[in-house]
Structure 1
Amino acid sequence: MGKELAFRKDGTFKIIQFTDIHVYDGLGEADIRSLTLIKNLIESEKPDLIVFTGDVIYADNETGDLREGFRKTVQIADQSGIPFAVIYGNHDAERNVKKPELQKILSEYGNCISEAGPEDIGGIGNYTATVKSSSSGSDAAVLYFMDSGEYAHESIGGYAWIQPGQVQWYREQSRQLAEKNNAVLPGLAFLHIPLPEYNEVWESGGAEGTKGEQVCCSKVNSGLFAALLERGEVMGVFAGHDHNNDYIGTLHGITLAYGRATGYNTYGDLKRGARIITLMEGERRFDTYIKEDSV
């Protein structure tokens, strides 16, 4: 576990979300552009936490040292001295690369807050992190990181879904935090594959941003959004996966947002960049915007 997270003295906590970098080995021209963008945005935005929301590497590629590409990417975050978190996408562990192997690599970096999470629920990388108060040192906000899986069984098709065990894990974590703090903390959740409700928030007409492709969510709705509503804690959910979508909208009081695709080694018409999210201590709100590559 890396450094403790805490609000700044001015009551803010800034997160930068990188998603869908699709690094191969870190040596090609597109990879170098992606890694340079990550470094530049970290330096210019000076966040308090760096979050990689999946498809850090594109493990379906048959050439290049994919593990080295993964290392090169997370090393940029680690060398900045800023805590960073990683969750996996559907492309991080394909062919001969496995999540436990990537998780072991992450454990080598002192600024990484990622955890493998419980072994008896779906996926690897289900964990929480609290953000401490700027003054008292008590918990002031909570961040949830969840593994959204890879692909559904061929009889169903499409992408995986958050499994029931993960939904129950979320409920239990939320309950324990509320009991510990005698309050429901404001929270954010991060995953790779968008929830089915991303369709609904766009169709409601209230979303802002770009929808350049269909929402590639699972065909099965396993109820995570309903659990978030019931607990009344999570203010916003942040996903990646769909490189031509970057929209944001609010559904039943919960903001559903895409990050901006970061990597140059993959498809997508949107200018590469990252999403910036700033939490406000003592308030149930956050500010967010897209920061694009300036090149």
Structure 2
Amino acid sequence: MESDTKKAEKNWKHSLLYLTFIITIIHLTHQTNFSRKLIIGNETVRIKKTSDLPLRFRSDGTFKILQVADMHYGNGMVTRCKDVLASEFEFCSDLNTTRFLKRIIQAESPDFIAFTGDNIYGPSSSDAAESLFQAFGPAMESRLPWAAILGNHDPESSMNREELMSLISLMDYSVSQINPSADCLADSAKGCTPSKIDGFGNYNLRVYGAPGSMLANSSVLNLLFLDSGDRVVYQGIRTYDWIKDSQLHWLRHVSQEPQGQEQDPPQSTDHDTTPITPPALAFFHIPIPEVRHLFYKQIVGQFQEGVACSRVNSPVLPTLVSMGDVKAVFIGHDHINDFCGILDGIWFCYGGGFGYHAYGKAGWPRRARIILAELEKGRNYWTRVQRITTWKRLDDERLSKIDEQILWDQLFSR
């Protein structure tokens, strides 16, 4: 009898201990936001916030991209503006860049933001990490997915290119990648494993079809990001860097990859179910030498300064043409060029200078580029990409919209 009493008492104590443990876990989960934080030793480690992924067209069949080129962010309020009117100079700083980014996000409601290099201006940044957090602050606050590549000025502060891309990839809502994942290429024997790809910030983002459509599980638009480097010495002469053969080899591989789990459309519900390769858009910072030829061709926008490019003409353009899927390329670097022009069937478009600490032109408003992809409407659902258009917004009182144009329309490309 005494033994049974001790057993009962022991079981009761175990039950009470277990119940206390469960209550403690529930309490800690609630109080410490356990889903967002981890405690390691005495340090609180915050987990990156992410957007709904994968990237996807809206239910109205659209996907809008905001291109931000050359923010040149420094140290915030103490970093003065360049090339603004005398009446604007006294109270102008990096905060004007921040204000413009917030305005354009609110006005255009993009689905995705692409930062195309020189996000910070190294010589004016005392702490590269702090400058990056300030520069990308409005994007993180918006909770929109965003991605960035590096320019030539980003690594001129306290972090190198690899460190910068590592930090950017870990920021809230960033979908940036340092380089392709380990399974990026099956033919690694040809020299295209991630460790052998030149630069930091070469990656592909797929945009999937509209929710509920037959292409909801398939990529219908590809976004290609490339690291165009910074400065190098070539044959004893200092010049800008260029996109290397390893990067181009990776690009060709990406272009040939399957685009997801294609689903068979219902019978007799649409007029065209022929499989096609999704169109692609490319983003890098430093223009290729061929962009200089656009001075003599018809363009949309303004060609106001010489194209600052590498002395080395790597086969970027022939590679893009041979791939067949790249419809437009978006670049930065030359701040007061904001034009689009066609080279061998591919549009090359400048973003135009965005940041106020970047050189510009007094009286010529800072600007951003918008890219809109629209799906084709079948009888009962959205299908593939039908059209890609672009325009620019100026940082004036009305956020003026200028130079709207069609970059690609699949109806005229067959």
- How would you bin the TM-score normalised by the shorter chain? over 0.9
1:86 corresponds in structure 2 to 148
* CA distance in 2: counterparts of 1:178 and 1:66, whole angstroms: 37
Q: Is the 8 A contact 2:114 2:148 kept in 1?
A: yes
What SS class does the counterpart of residue 38 from structure 1 fall into?
helix
Which of 164, 175, 191 is equivalent to 1:102?
164
* CA distance in 2: counterparts of 1:250 and 1:35, whole angstroms: 32
* CA distance in 1: counterparts of 2:93 and 2:303, whole angstroms: 24
- Report which stretch shifted further, 36-45 or 173-182: 173-182
Deviation at 1:253, TM superposition (A): 1.4
Q: Which runs of 5+ in 1 are unaligned?
A: none
Deviation at 1:129, TM superposition (A): 0.4
In our comparison, the structure showing a higher alpha carbon Rg is 2
* CA distance in 2: counterparts of 1:109 and 1:152, whole angstroms: 29
1:163-182 equivalences under 5 Å are: 163-177=244-258
Q: Is the 8 A contact 2:127 2:157 kept in 1?
A: no
| Residue 293 in structure 1 maps to residue 395 in structure 2 | yes
Q: CA RMSD in A?
A: 1.8
2:224 corresponds in structure 1 to 144
Which has a greater percent of helix?
2
Letter of the structure 1 residue corresponding to residue 390 of structure 2:
T
Letter of the structure 2 residue corresponding to residue 194 of structure 1:
P
| Residue 194 in structure 1 maps to residue 244 in structure 2 | no
* CA distance in 1: counterparts of 2:149 and 2:258, whole angstroms: 21
Q: Is the 8 A contact 1:71 1:105 kept in 2?
A: no
What percentage of residue pairs aligned between the two structures are identical? Answer: 38
* CA distance in 2: counterparts of 1:97 and 1:110, whole angstroms: 19
* CA distance in 1: counterparts of 2:135 and 2:258, whole angstroms: 32
Deviation at 1:215, TM superposition (A): 0.5
- Report which stretch shifted further, 165-174 or 279-288: 279-288
| Residue 162 in structure 1 maps to residue 256 in structure 2 | no
Which of 15, 40, 45 is equivalent to 2:108?
45
2:121 corresponds in structure 1 to 58
| Residue 112 in structure 1 maps to residue 112 in structure 2 | no
Q: Is the 8 A contact 2:69 2:352 kept in 1?
A: yes
* CA distance in 1: counterparts of 2:158 and 2:115, whole angstroms: 21
* CA distance in 2: counterparts of 1:293 and 1:45, whole angstroms: 13
Letter of the structure 1 residue corresponding to residue 368 of structure 2:
A
1:208 corresponds in structure 2 to 300
Q: Which runs of 5+ in 2 are unaligned?
A: 1-49, 79-91, 180-193, 263-274, 376-383, 398-414
* CA distance in 1: counterparts of 2:304 and 2:71, whole angstroms: 18
What SS class does the counterpart of residue 254 from structure 2 fall into?
helix
Distance 1:256 1:16, change over 3 A: same
1:133 corresponds in structure 2 to 209
* CA distance in 2: counterparts of 1:206 and 1:107, whole angstroms: 38
Q: Is the 8 A contact 1:23 1:265 kept in 2?
A: yes
Letter of the structure 2 residue corresponding to residue 172 of structure 1:
H
| Residue 4 in structure 1 maps to residue 54 in structure 2 | yes
TM-score computed with the length of structure 1 as normaliser:
0.94
| Residue 271 in structure 1 maps to residue 351 in structure 2 | no
What SS class does the counterpart of residue 71 from structure 1 fall into?
helix
What SS class does the counterpart of residue 385 from structure 2 fall into?
coil
* CA distance in 2: counterparts of 1:158 and 1:43, whole angstroms: 39
| Residue 221 in structure 1 maps to residue 302 in structure 2 | no
Paired residue total: 293
* CA distance in 2: counterparts of 1:38 and 1:179, whole angstroms: 34
| Residue 123 in structure 1 maps to residue 199 in structure 2 | yes
TM-score computed with the length of structure 2 as normaliser:
0.68
* CA distance in 1: counterparts of 2:77 and 2:166, whole angstroms: 22
- Report which stretch shifted further, 7-16 or 63-72: 63-72
Letter of the structure 2 residue corresponding to residue 221 of structure 1:
N
Cα deviation digits, residues 31-62 of structure 1 (max 9, x gap): 0000111111111110000010000001123x
Cα deviation digits, residues 121-164 of structure 1 (max 9, x gap): 11100000011000232111100000000013152332111011
Distance 1:102 1:128, change over 3 A: same
* CA distance in 2: counterparts of 1:103 and 1:180, whole angstroms: 30
